[in-house]
Chain A
Amino acid sequence: MKSRASFPRVLGRILTYVLAILIALWILAPIYLIGVSAFGEKLSAYTYPRPFWPAPFTIETMSFFLKSGGVIKSVQSSVIVAMITLVLSTLIGAPAGYTIARFIFSGRDAFRLIVVSTRSFPIVILSIPLAVTFIEWGMYDSVYSLALMHTALALPFTILITSSVFASIPRDLEEAAQTLGCSQLEAFLRISLPLALPGLAAATLFTFVLSWNEVFAAVILTVRNRTLPALVLTVLSESQLPYRFAGGFFMMVPSLIFMLFIRRYLLNLWGRVTK
């Protein structure tokens, strides 16, 4: 009786695991294959089917890629730009999101719409005026001005995500805190903010990935101080396969590391607070 009752459960469990493994493979297999080709011998990148082990293992392609003109410097630029973007867009976006979530004011919906509509401008048609303005204002070819641009690009996402995060935190909690002697600010800092952290982490993750992968503004607004994607992305598509794998692998790893680092905040995806 006991075993019969547990059979569907075991089956369910097995199915869950199989499904989980399949989904994991769906994501990990390409990453793994890119890694294999990035660390394999040059010619092995052309063999088909792809080898499942980098034999012989070599860092020749990878080190050539890393040593090639400006890669290291561009990684620094990318990190600086991404970090500034992350900080700025959180500092500006989170209060905006909180305001939309907590306060009812006239034009709230219009504001929401306007925020999203900024994303509907194709940046391609803005490129030349944007570059001209940046040159005239003396902000051209600098990682700091690029970070401003990325902040502008990231803000709509940050505002929308954080507003839904704050909206999902019951207002009663803040009010309860206020009845117990907290000021409004204290209630926010001690109650809402800790509860909102996972959602804010998700927002920063999006911001980071957006800035890390953004090519177009980075290409047009910088010449010598390029971010990694601006430096290598268009160039890689024309390079030999082994370098493409090396470059792809290298571009992917920082994002993965960042995600691993921030993963525990993501367990409750934005807005769903289970604690």
Chain B
Amino acid sequence: MNKLLVKVLVLMVSISLFAAACQPQVTQPPKEVQVIVTQIVEVAPPVVDYGDIVWLSTQLRPVQEAEKVRGVILDKFPGNVEFIPEDEGPFHDRITAEVQANQGTVDVLGALHGNFSTMGPKDQLQDLTALRSSLADRGIPDAFWDVAQLNTDKTYYVPWMQATYILAINKKALEYLPAGADVNALTYDDLMAWAKNIKDTTGDAKFGFPAGESGLLHRFFQGFLVPSFSGGVVTTFASDDAAQGWQWLKDFWPYVNPQSTTYNFMQEQLLNEEVWIAWDHTARLKDAFEALPDDFLAVPVPAGPKGRAFMPVIAGLAIPVTSTNQAGAEALIAYLTEPQIQVTTLREVGFFPIVAVDYPGYVSPGIKLEGEAVTLQAGAPDALPALLPQGLADKGGDFNKVFRDTFTSIVLNGEDINTVLDEQKVILQSIMDATGAPCWSPDPDSVGKACQVK
């Protein structure tokens, strides 16, 4: 066995020596060899963890929306965000208490412009001017930033998402639509004829307003009815044009479901068919569109003599002065305003992006319905955006009350329109004087002075 191994080895060595000896001795010119180095360098992003962040929000409170925030929207954020939905009352009380005690648990606040406008003047919010410049690439419209300054040179919140109000229509109502009316470009007269037609034919008042305690009917007066008829909100409050608007509502009321004074979220009455046509906030109609997208239409609000007035609603993100996780708070705000997350927010909870985004291919049929109506409404040739009240600080509730009281007196109690408007005008003016709030769109600019009721 060993002998065999030795023989094989000797053979192999001699063959290789022979082969080497037989090699032709040619000197080859040096070749240029192109070396392509493919080296995969793992550039792992530095592992960032922003730690625990408490995010208190008056928005996205319903269970299903809060779950979307926790499960989907915050999914990719590098940190442990605790999303806590809260009513407006405790929301303000808590921040007031934490600022007073100078010790906080809350890091980020999500709320409406109206909430922040009462907190800014009380020094409860940080100045986010630096964060604003770092978010310059987001494409948030300057108009929104201006509003977030609350008439100061500071920036109190970062615009986060927007919504508006539209009409939701059960398709059963379409057969009663007056001839010649375009459902996507209704006028207040069309709406009157339509609702009357339904009442006369079916015997039921099938139009619904959210006139209940937590309904948002006051926004209908401030952002839709009064500006559509008068072209303004505060300046034209007591004008003849505004009186015409209130007259319209008074005449329209018999065709409105009398239970409206108990309605808060019109999606419920739409789903149980108490009403067929309803005006409400997109987030408060969403469930109807989501549940039965084939049964409902979303259409723009009606137009009056001065245009198709509508109110965009802006929610923002702020950092309280007592925040204990500054880096985390800023990172969370930056994250939530990323275009991709804005699209996710739209898809999951139905609030519309505040930044310039490409609308995604896939959104649920219900959201798509709403989104199309919102786009149609904002892009209508006669569109007249009427902003949320600004600069009213903690008088926002009083401002709403003026409109609610006007409605109650004129429409529910049947009092004389001009008398009521003249009475309420005085209260309205005192609110404007007390706060010094300048006019906002669509009222003409009052150049920094308190807005005047004419």
- Asked if A and B bind, the verdict is yes
Interface residues of A (CB under 8 A from B): 42-43, 46-48, 64-65, 68-69, 127-128, 131-132, 135-136, 140-141, 219-220, 223-224, 226, 232, 234-236, 238-241, 243, 247
Contact A223 B268 (CB under 8 A): no
Residue of A nearest to B99 (CB): A132
Kindly list 5 other residue pairs between chains A and B, CB separation below 8 angstroms, not including A48-B272, A226-B84. A46-B268, A64-B67, A220-B94, A235-B61, A235-B66
Residue of B nearest to A240 (CB): B287
Contact A131 B93 (CB under 8 A): yes
| Interface of chain A: mostly helix, strand, loop or mixed | helix
Contact A135 B97 (CB under 8 A): yes
Q: Which A residues lie within 8 Å of B86 (CB)?
A: 219, 234
* Whole-angstrom CA separation of A128 from B95 in the bound complex: 9
Select one of A42, A131, A223 contacting B54, CB under 8 A: A223
Q: Is B324 located at the chain interface by the 8 A CB criterion?
A: no
CB within 8 Å for A220 and B84 given contacts A132-B97, A238-B61, A240-B64: no
Q: For residues 81 through 105 of chain B, which have their beta carbon under 8 Å from a beta carbon of chain A?
A: 82-87, 90, 93-94, 96-98, 100-101, 103, 105
Q: For residues 250 through 272 of chain B, which have their beta carbon under 8 Å from a beta carbon of chain A?
A: 265, 268, 271-272
Return the 6 tightest CB-CB contacts between A and B, nearest first: A131-B97, A135-B101, A239-B62, A239-B63, A46-B271, A234-B87
Q: Which B residues lie within 8 Å of A241 (CB)?
A: 268
Q: Which B residues lie within 8 Å of A234 (CB)?
A: 61, 86-87, 90
Interface residues of B (CB under 8 A from A): 54, 56, 61-64, 66-67, 70, 82-87, 90, 93-94, 96-98, 100-101, 103, 105-106, 265, 268, 271-272, 287, 291
* Whole-angstrom CA separation of A110 from B234 in the bound complex: 56
Select one of A42, A65, A127, A135 contacting B63, CB under 8 A: A65
| A-B contacts, 25 listed (Cβ < 8 Å) | A46-B268, A64-B63, A65-B63, A68-B66, A68-B67, A69-B70, A128-B93, A128-B96, A128-B100, A131-B94, A132-B97, A136-B101, A136-B103, A141-B105, A220-B94, A223-B54, A223-B84, A223-B105, A223-B106, A224-B105, A234-B61, A234-B86, A234-B90, A235-B66, A243-B63
Contact A135 B103 (CB under 8 A): yes
Closest Cβ of chain B to A252, distance in Å, is: 17
Contact A219 B90 (CB under 8 A): yes
* Whole-angstrom CA separation of A234 from B82 in the bound complex: 18
Closest Cβ of chain A to B71, distance in Å, is: 8
Select one of B62, B70, B82 contacting A238, CB under 8 A: B62
Q: Which B residues lie within 8 Å of A236 (CB)?
A: 63
* Whole-angstrom CA separation of A201 from B62 in the bound complex: 37
Contact A238 B94 (CB under 8 A): no
Q: Which A residues lie within 8 Å of B103 (CB)?
A: 135-136
Contact A220 B93 (CB under 8 A): yes
Q: Which B residues lie within 8 Å of A238 (CB)?
A: 61-62, 265
Q: Which B residues lie within 8 Å of A68 (CB)?
A: 63, 66-67
* Whole-angstrom CA separation of A224 from B93 in the bound complex: 16
Closest Cβ of chain A to B236, distance in Å, is: 34
Contact B62 A128 (CB under 8 A): no
* Whole-angstrom CA separation of A220 from B89 in the bound complex: 10
Contact A223 B94 (CB under 8 A): yes
* Whole-angstrom CA separation of A48 from B259 in the bound complex: 16
Q: Which A residues lie within 8 Å of B83 (CB)?
A: 69
Select one of A128, A235, A240 contacting B97, CB under 8 A: A128
Q: Which B residues lie within 8 Å of A47 (CB)?
A: 272
* Whole-angstrom CA separation of A220 from B101 in the bound complex: 14
Closest Cβ of chain A to B186, distance in Å, is: 26
Closest Cβ of chain B to A67, distance in Å, is: 8
Contact A224 B64 (CB under 8 A): no
Specify which of B94, B98, B268 lies most central, judged by the most chain A CB atoms within 10 Å of its CB. B94
Contact B62 A135 (CB under 8 A): no
* Whole-angstrom CA separation of A11 from B287 in the bound complex: 53
Q: Which A residues lie within 8 Å of B106 (CB)?
A: 223
* Whole-angstrom CA separation of A48 from B64 in the bound complex: 23
* Whole-angstrom CA separation of A132 from B97 in the bound complex: 5
Contact B63 A247 (CB under 8 A): yes
* Whole-angstrom CA separation of A128 from B96 in the bound complex: 7
Q: Which A residues lie within 8 Å of B61 (CB)?
A: 234-235, 238
Contact A224 B63 (CB under 8 A): no
Contact B93 A243 (CB under 8 A): no
Closest Cβ of chain B to A63, distance in Å, is: 12
Q: Which A residues lie within 8 Å of B272 (CB)?
A: 46-48
Closest Cβ of chain A to B56, distance in Å, is: 8
Closest Cβ of chain A to B370, distance in Å, is: 16
Contact A135 B98 (CB under 8 A): yes
Closest Cβ of chain A to B324, distance in Å, is: 12
CB within 8 Å for A69 and B66 given contacts A131-B97, A132-B101: yes
Q: Which A residues lie within 8 Å of B268 (CB)?
A: 46, 241
Contact A220 B265 (CB under 8 A): no
Closest Cβ of chain A to B293, distance in Å, is: 13
Closest Cβ of chain B to A244, distance in Å, is: 9
